[in-house]
A and B are shown apart, each in its own frame.
Chain A
Amino acid sequence: MTEKNVVSASVGRALSHQLQEADWLADWRESAWTSFQTLEKPWLEKTDLKRCQFEVVEKSPSTGSHLEARKLFESVTGSAVLILGNRIEAIRLTEEDKKNGVVLMSLHEASHTHRHLLEKYLGSVVPSSHSKWAALNAAAFQAGVLLYIPRHVEVSSDILIIRSEEEALESAYPRTLVIADTGAKARVAEMQFAKPAATSAAATSDVWEVVAENDARLEIGLIDEILAGPYRFYTRRAKLGKDAEVNWYAASTGDGLAVSDIESLLDGNGSRSNTRVLGTAVGRMHHDLTAKMTHAGRYSESDIVMHGVLRQKANAVFRSCTEIVKGAVEAGSEQHDRMILVDSTARADAIPMLLIDENDVKRCGHAASVGKIDPNQIYYLMSRGISEKLATRMIIWGYFEETILSLPVEEAVREAFVARLEKELD
Chain B
Amino acid sequence: MSVPQLVIEGLHVTVEGKEIVKGLDLTVGGGEIHAIMGPNGTGKSTLASALMGHPKYEVTGGRVTLDGQDLLSMSVDERARAGLFLAMQYPAEVPGVSNANFIRQSLNARAGEGNEIPVLKFHRQLQEKMKKLNIDASFAERYLNEGFSGGEKKRNEILQMSMLEPRIAILDEIDSGLDIDALKIVAEGVNNLKSPQTGFLIITHYQRLLNYIVPDRVHVMMQGRIVKSGGRELAEYLEAHGYDELKAELGIEDESVQAGV
Contact = CB atoms under 8 A, between A and B. Distances in A.
Interface stretch (B24-32, B76-84, B176-184): B76-84
A386 B105 contact: yes
A377 B106 CA distance: 14
Contact of A383 (B80, B93, B101, B103): B80
Interface in A377-424: 377, 379-388, 390-391, 394-395, 397-402
B159 to A, nearest CB: 12
A395 B97 contact: yes
A395 B93 CA distance: 11
A232 B168 CA distance: 56
Residue of B53, B54, B103, B105 with most partner-chain A CB within 10 A: B105
Contacts of B105: 381, 384, 386, 390, 394
B222 to A, nearest CB: 27
A373 to B, nearest CB: 10
B92 A374 contact: yes
Given A385-B80, A398-B143, A380 B109 contact: no
Given A395-B97, A398-B96, A386 B106 contact: yes
B91 interface: yes
Interface string A352-381: 000000000000000000000011110111
Contacts of B101: 394
B165 to A, nearest CB: 12
B55 A399 contact: no
Given A379-B55, A379-B76, A398-B143, A385 B110 contact: yes
B96 A402 contact: yes
B206 interface: no
A400 B97 CA distance: 10
Nearest to A388: B77
B182 to A, nearest CB: 22
A258 B88 CA distance: 44
Interface residues of B, number: 31
B139 interface: no
Contact of B77 (A387, A398, A399, A401): A387
B52 interface: yes
B95 interface: yes
A375 B109 contact: no
B174 to A, nearest CB: 15
A388 B88 CA distance: 19
A377 B143 CA distance: 13
A379 B92 CA distance: 9
Contacts of A375: 55
Contacts of A398: 94-97, 143
Contacts of B76: 379, 382-383
B77 A385 contact: yes
A394 B100 CA distance: 13
B150 to A, nearest CB: 16
Contacts of B227: none
Nearest to A394: B97
Contacts of A383: 52-53, 76-77, 79-80, 85-86, 88
Given A377-B92, A394-B97, 5 more contacts: A379-B55, A379-B76, A385-B77, A398-B97, A399-B95
Interface of A: 374-377, 379-388, 390-391, 394-395, 397-402
26 contacts: A375-B55, A377-B94, A380-B91, A382-B75, A382-B76, A382-B80, A383-B86, A383-B88, A384-B80, A384-B85, A384-B102, A384-B105, A384-B106, A385-B106, A385-B109, A386-B77, A386-B80, A386-B105, A386-B109, A387-B77, A387-B109, A388-B77, A394-B101, A397-B96, A398-B94, A399-B96
